[in-house]
């Protein structure tokens, strides 16, 4: 009986697996593999928003997982861009719940306006959210000088900074952060604890994200310091 059971299991199990119904799944773990696919199922201005402004700057600041996808990232990106008149792009989840389905990994994020802006910029800084109960900034990307300026400025102002581990290193050529004229950008991953500390009462809900703390302004000022220095370097190199 036992031998018969083992034989039956070995034969039937592969067939049973074939009939399991699974939700969409891609190598990145995202629900959608591209913007074109997302666009077929999600409604602009109802499920997500796109905000951007092309300014006269060598750098573009982006939060492609903004709004409710990775709360706090679009607030940092927009404030930073406004501080030194840089171009910016925000892709924001605005669903009441389940904004995580709008996450498209950086390598696959192909929304035309975002890719076009990145490709016209000398370099790009992207702001992302990461898990973590400690306030940490993980720094990745291929632009070594810009990365060093960012790390130095953040540490000078009291933030904990670490090199990004391999899974969020931002070194792929297909990553939007590196899809620019220099083929090198900077990708920042901000832990959940750090992002929550940017808002009053640690409340990063949509209705409270306009109520920022002094730490938020210190963080943005630190990035502005580094970004302005790097943009000046680019200007001097070009001229």
pLDDT digits (tens, 9 = 90+) for 196-208: 999 999 999 999 9
CB-based contacts of 163, cutoff 8 Å, min separation 6: 138, 139, 140
Range of the domain at 189: 26-238
Report yes or no on 7 lying in a domain: no
Token pair listed for 199: 């808002």
Average pLDDT over residues 169-183: 98
Token pair listed for 173: 């050529």
Q: Is the pTM of this model over 0.85?
A: yes
The number of distinct structural domains making up the chain is 1
Report yes or no on 233 lying in a domain: yes
CB 73 within 8 A of CB 66: yes
Report yes or no on 46 lying in a domain: yes
Q: Which of the four pLDDT bands, split at 50, 70 and 90, describes residue 29?
A: confident
pLDDT digits (tens, 9 = 90+) for 35-71: 999 999 999 999 999 999 999 999 999 999 999 999 9
Report yes or no on 124 lying in a domain: yes
Report yes or no on 165 lying in a domain: yes
Report yes or no on 45 lying in a domain: yes
Task: For the chain, give the mean pLDDT.
Answer: 91
Report yes or no on 12 lying in a domain: no
Report yes or no on 20 lying in a domain: no
Please name the residue that has the structure tokens 């070194």: 171
Report the largest interatomic distance among the alpha carbons of the chain, rounded to a whole angstrom: 84
For residue 180, give the CATH number of its domain.
Answer: 3.40.630.100
List the one residue out of 47, 89, 101, 83 whose CA is nearest residue 64.
Answer: 89
Alpha carbons 168 and 106: distance in angstroms, whole number: 10
């Amino acid at each position: 009986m036992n031998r018969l059971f083992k034989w039956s299991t070995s034969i039937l199990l592969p067939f049973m697996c074939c009939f399991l119904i699974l939700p969409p799944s891609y190598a990145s773990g995202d629900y959608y593999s591209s913007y074109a696919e997302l666009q077929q199922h999600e409604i602009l201005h109802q499920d997500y928003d796109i905000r951007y402004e092309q300014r006269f700057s060598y750098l573009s600041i982006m939060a492609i997982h903004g709004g409710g996808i990775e709360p706090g990232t679009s607030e940092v990106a927009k404030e930073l861009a406004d501080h030194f008149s840089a171009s910016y792009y925000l892709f924001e989840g605005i669903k009441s719940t389940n904004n995580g389905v709008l996450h498209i990994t950086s390598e696959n994020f192909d929304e035309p306006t975002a890719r076009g802006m990145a490709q016209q910029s000398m370099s790009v800084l992207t702001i992302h959210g990461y898990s973590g109960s400690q306030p940490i900034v993980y720094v990745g990307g291929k632009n070594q000088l810009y990365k060093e300026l960012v790390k130095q400025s953040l540490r000078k102002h009291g933030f904990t900074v670490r090199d990004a581990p391999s899974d969020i290193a931002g070194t792929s050529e297909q990553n939007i952060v590196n899809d620019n004229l220099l083929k090198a950008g900077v990708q920042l991953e901000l832990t959940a604890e750090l992002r929550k500390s940017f808002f009053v009462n640690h409340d990063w809900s949509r209705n409270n994200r306009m109520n920022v703390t002094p730490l938020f302004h210190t963080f943005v000022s630190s990035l502005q310091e580094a970004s302005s220095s790097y943009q000046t370097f680019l200007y001097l190199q070009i001229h």
